[in-house]
Amino acid sequence: MGERDVVQGTLEMLILKTLALEPMHGYGVATRIEQVSQSVFRVNPGSLLPALARMERAGHVKSEWRASENNRRAKYYALTARGRKALSDEATTWNRQVSAIARIMEA
């Protein structure tokens, strides 16, 4: 199985999950998703950055400029309380859907 874009509609959930660990900048989020998914999913900046902008507007994440690992200024995103709630909601829905799909596929 090669690299591919994330499953449709799950990008925001994956970002929320990734940011739940610690605040990160955009590239960090992209790398983390790629690593954890063992390179199954790739997120390119063309969809990641607009998604982050959207989530910031929705109040799920907040951003702040900080110095990065290599001492450059970078925009760090962190989860808000509302974002945390959204994550748990979406995770629940997702798990329900996955098990439902699994049941169908096994039937």
Partner 1 sequence: MRLLSNVIDGFRSLFRKGAIEREMDEELRGFVEASTADKLRRGMTSDQAIRAARVEMGSANAVKHHIRSEAWETQVEVFWRDLWYGVRMLLRSPGFTAVAVLTLALGIGANTAIFQLLDAVRLRNLPVMNPGELTLVHLAGLPDTRGNHETDYPALNNPLWEYLRDHQHVFSQVLAWSPTSLGITVGDHERLVQGMWVSGDFFNVLGVRPALGRLFTSSDDRPGCGASGVVVSYKFWQGQLGGNPQAIGSRLTIGRHAVPILGVTPDGFTGPEVGRSFDVAAPICSQSAYWTEGNWLDSSTDWWLTVMGRLKPGASLSMANAGLESLSPAAFEASLRKDYPAENVRDYLHLKLVADPAPGGVSWLRDKYESPLWMLLGLAGFVLLIACANLANLMLARSSARVREFAVRLSLGATQRRLICQLLWESFPLLVLGAASGLLLAGALGKSLIALLGTQGDSLFVDLHPDWRVLGFTATLATFTALLFALIPAFRATRLAPSEAMKTGSPRTGGTHESNRLRRGLVITQVALSLVLVTGAVLFARTFANLLTVDAGFREDNILITSLDLSQLRLPVARRLAVKKEIVDRLHEIPGVEAASEVGIVPLSGTSTTNRVWAEGEDRQSVIDPNFNSTGNGYFNTLGIPVLAGRDFDEHDTPNSPRVAVVNQEFARRLGKGASPVGVRIRREAKPHDPETVFEIVGVVKNSKYKDLREKFVPIVYLAISQEQDPDPFEQIILHSALPLPILTSEIKLAVDGMSPEISVDFQVFKTQIRESLLPERLMAVLSGSLGILAALLTAVGLYGVISFLVTQRTREIGIRMALGAGKRQVLSSILGETLMLTVLGIAVGLPITFGVTRFIASMLFGIKPSDPVALAFAALALCGVGVAAAYIPARRAAAVDPMTALRYE
Instruction: Report, in Å, the least distance between residue 5 CB and partner 1.
Output: 13
Instruction: Please tell me whether residue 4 binds partner 1 under the rule CB under 8 A.
Output: no
Residue 98 structure tokens: 């996955």
Whichever of 53 and 102 has its CB closer to partner 1, that residue is: 53
Instruction: Please tell me whether residue 58 binds partner 1 under the rule CB under 8 A.
Output: yes
**From 6-14, 19-27, 85-93, 97-105, span contacting partner 1 (CB under 8 A):** 19-27
Looking only at the bridges linking them, the beta strands covering 24-25 and 73-79 are antiparallel
For residue 24, how many C-alpha atoms fall within 13 Å in the half-sphere facing its CB?
A: 19
Instruction: Please tell me whether residue 59 binds partner 1 under the rule CB under 8 A.
Output: yes
Instruction: Please tell me whether residue 46 binds partner 1 under the rule CB under 8 A.
Output: yes
Instruction: Please tell me whether residue 68 binds partner 1 under the rule CB under 8 A.
Output: yes
Task: Please give the angle made by the CA atoms of 60, 97 and 19, to the nearest 5 degrees.
Answer: 25
**Alpha-carbon distances, residue 64 vs 29, 53, 74, 76, 77 (angstroms):** 15, 13, 8, 5, 7
List residues near partner 1 by CB under 8 A.
25-28, 31, 44-47, 49-50, 53-54, 57-59, 65, 68, 70, 72-75, 82
